[in-house]
Amino acid sequence: MTDTLRKVIPLADMRYASRVPNVPARLSAPAGLLSDTLGRPLRDLRISVTDRCNFRCSYCMPSEVFDKDYAYLPQNSLLTFEEITRLAKIFVAHGVEKVRLTGGEPLLRKNLEVLIGQLARLQTPAGKPLDITLTTNGSLLARKAQQLKDAGLQRVTVSLDALDDAIFRRMNDVDFPVADVLAGIDAAHRAGLSPVKVNMVVKRGTNDCQIEPMARHFRHSGAVLRFIEYMDVGATNGWRMDEVLPSSQVIERLQAEFPLAAIDPNCSGETAERWRYLDSAGEIGVISSVTQAFCGQCNRARLSTEGKLFLCLFASQGHDLRALLRGNYADEQIAAAVGPIWQARSDRYSQVRAALPIDASPAGNNAKRVEMSYIGG
């Protein structure tokens, strides 16, 4: 093979193991009724649009790992907006009703509203529009909220780990002020990206003193504040069980100041346990992926920035759909390849971990797990 024909694959593009899915000789059309080995349907597709972020939160992209020399994916490795939309259409045919755009920080992806506009034109087989949402750190939201809404985005989830400015600046590790994120949340409200959800990752000894102040701030605001247990995603965040504050303790602390009552989930597969204030000040949620695993209802697939399909947030092995997209396969062939992947799915990492001694790793998960910045939360 001559040098002009040899393809050089950047090392960043080989960060996680992946397989090229088999395209069956006999094609079967999607019926929207896929279920995995545990009977879980496919309803939610989370799409990472960039592996870059302008924050360096220790639980996601610690600065000692993601420094100036870190090798991000090259631009030509990323899925184009047209490729993302094409795959989304295939997943919708298989039953997906909700698409969440993630990162990294998705608002760093240039012209993201163009992608949102393309996704907004898709419909389920029943003729319903997709539920299109986005998760962001809020740093760019104040200037982009209205154009995102105009393009077809329906709601946003904003990550905010502290109300105290000093704590927040330490946690994002780039000295970004909390006031700018709060301004982004206000802009999202004004644009109609409601209800805005605010996610706080609670890390014992770091920001757990912010639980009550965050609750006080977002009561009566219309936003839904959710407290997330610090998770062992990836391999670079130095996760330790003694830094996890169980959601049950979060609820106990809030109950002492604001009486709460549990309420039913909005839909099957919802990750948050919902509570409402008895004085009608709104609702909160807790996401207990460490102490109360919800694998049994998980209906989410994840698509990485460069087109690898992952079946679990804690996965180490992906399926290379970009190879099919750029290999001149028809949509019908790609759909026929995706179906068996979901049908063979048996992932339940958090349930397995919960049955093991503290800090033990589930069998078969000693391989390098994908980082949250790569696959999205």
Concatenated DSSP letters of 118-141: HHHT-B-TTSPBPEEEEEE-STTH
Q: Where are the alpha helices (DSSP H) in the chain?
A: 81-93, 112-120, 141-151, 165-172, 178-191, 211-218, 247-255, 321-325, 331-343, 349-354, 372-375
Q: CB of 189 within 8 A of CB of 196? A: yes
Measure the CA–CA gap between 297 and 39, rounded to whole angstroms. Answer: 9
The whole-number pLDDT of residue 265 equals: 82
Q: What is the value of pTM for the model shown?
A: 0.90
CATH number of the structural domain spanning residue 77 = 3.20.20.70
Measure the CA–CA gap between 199 and 159, rounded to whole angstroms. Answer: 5
- Nearest 5°: the CA angle 173, 177, 178 is 105
Q: For residue 70, how far is the Cα from the chain centroid?
A: 22
Question: Which is nearest to 341 in space by CA: 314, 367, 321?
Answer: 321
Asked, for residue 3, whether it belongs to a domain, the answer is: no
Provide the token pair at 282: 């709104």
Asked, for residue 162, whether it belongs to a domain, the answer is: yes
Which residues of the chain fall short of a pLDDT of 50?
1-6, 363-365
The whole-number pLDDT of residue 363 equals: 47
- Give yes or no for a cis peptide into 195 (omega within 30° of 0): yes
Asked, for residue 7, whether it belongs to a domain, the answer is: no
Question: Which is nearest to 122 in space by CA: 144, 90, 154?
Answer: 90
Q: What are phi and psi of 305, to 5 degrees?
A: -55, -35
The whole-number pLDDT of residue 355 equals: 56
Asked, for residue 26, whether it belongs to a domain, the answer is: no
Q: CB of 19 within 8 A of CB of 311? A: no
Asked, for residue 1, whether it belongs to a domain, the answer is: no
Q: Which residues of 17-39 are buried (b: 16+ CB within 10 A; e: fewer)?
A: ebeebebeeeeeebebebebeee
Q: What is the DSSP code (8-state) at residue 277?
A: E
Q: How many domains does the chain have?
A: 1
The whole-number pLDDT of residue 2 equals: 40
The whole-number pLDDT of residue 17 equals: 73
Asked, for residue 272, whether it belongs to a domain, the answer is: yes
Asked, for residue 35, whether it belongs to a domain, the answer is: yes
Residue type, 183: A
Q: CB of 224 within 8 A of CB of 196? A: yes
The whole-number pLDDT of residue 24 equals: 93
**pLDDT, tens digit, for every residue of 256-266?**
999 999 998 88
Can you tell me which residue has the tokens 């709060």? 182
Provide the token pair at 161: 């780990």
Asked, for residue 187, whether it belongs to a domain, the answer is: yes
If one counts every other C-beta atom within 10 angstroms of the C-beta of residue 344, the result is 10
Range of the domain at 137: 12-19+31-375
